[in-house]
Chains A and B, each alone.
Chain A
């Protein structure tokens, strides 16, 4: 069945790079997404990648996709304390891009 796995916790120092990893199961997913959730808030869409791409860069964010291994990663360059949040990886349930399947989220803690 569909399942998205993420490591639960990551701690980095301010100014370092953060890498958050995710594995997914549905090879028919056309898009994969990264969301950020701050305490008590809704989800903020950070970026997405189309399944025929290997990499996408958007300012401090770099997404890498290894479709063979069904592995997705989000790299945040020059991590700031404001980046502290929970990061969710999500895949589309089908090619029509309807329901999203989310991982449990990775809590990123940035210390100064």
Chain B
């Protein structure tokens, strides 16, 4: 297994545009998580899926953000009408459904909104 992969690694977009990121988890992992990390901060939880069901969303996830995991494998995170404050590193992680719930992270997608 090659681990968690994310695409693209970098994205530069203009304010107001929509962007979509993709995450491919470790194949045997049922759970998939999205986090956001800004400079000098630790990652902040956004949402997570167990198989195809989105079970939890943070209050950080505004209406402009939507995530899907249609077949319980890869996931997409879409940001509509991007704002400069959305500039951050978007991290995806996956884990098994049993303890110790070790979350393995991908390399991240760095979003810059100009």
A90, closest chain B residue (CB): B42
Stretch at the interface among A62-70, A75-83, A100-108: A100-108
Cβ contacts B29-50/A at 8 Å (1 or 0 each): 0010101000011111100100
Among A45, A88, A90, contact of B104 (Cβ-Cβ < 8 Å): A45
- CB neighbours (8 Å) of B33 from chain A are 98-100
- CB neighbours (8 Å) of B40 from chain A are 104
Are B45 and A31 in touch, CB under 8 angstroms? no
Are A50 and B100 in touch, CB under 8 angstroms? yes
Tell me, yes or no, whether A97 is within 8 Å of chain B by CB.
yes
Are A100 and B43 in touch, CB under 8 angstroms? yes
- CB neighbours (8 Å) of B104 from chain A are 45
Bound-state CA distance A97–B48 (Å) is 11
Chief secondary structure at chain A's binding surface: strand
A102, closest chain B residue (CB): B42
- CB neighbours (8 Å) of A44 from chain B are 105
B62 to A: closest C-beta gap in Å:
17
Are A104 and B41 in touch, CB under 8 angstroms? yes
**Interface residues in B15-73 (C-beta closer than 8 Å to A):** 31, 33, 35, 40-45, 48, 55-56, 58
Are A48 and B58 in touch, CB under 8 angstroms? no
Are B91 and A100 in touch, CB under 8 angstroms? no
Cβ contacts B68-95/A at 8 Å (1 or 0 each): 0000000000000000000000010101
Are B45 and A100 in touch, CB under 8 angstroms? yes
Bound-state CA distance A10–B4 (Å) is 30
Tell me, yes or no, whether A55 is within 8 Å of chain B by CB.
no
Are A101 and B100 in touch, CB under 8 angstroms? no
Tell me, yes or no, whether A30 is within 8 Å of chain B by CB.
yes
Among B41, B58, B106, contact of A99 (Cβ-Cβ < 8 Å): B58
Bound-state CA distance A88–B93 (Å) is 15
The 6 sampled A-B contact pairs (Cβ below 8 Å) are: A35-B105, A42-B4, A42-B91, A43-B91, A97-B100, A99-B48
Interface residues of B (CB under 8 A from A): 4, 31, 33, 35, 40-45, 48, 55-56, 58, 91, 93, 95, 99-108
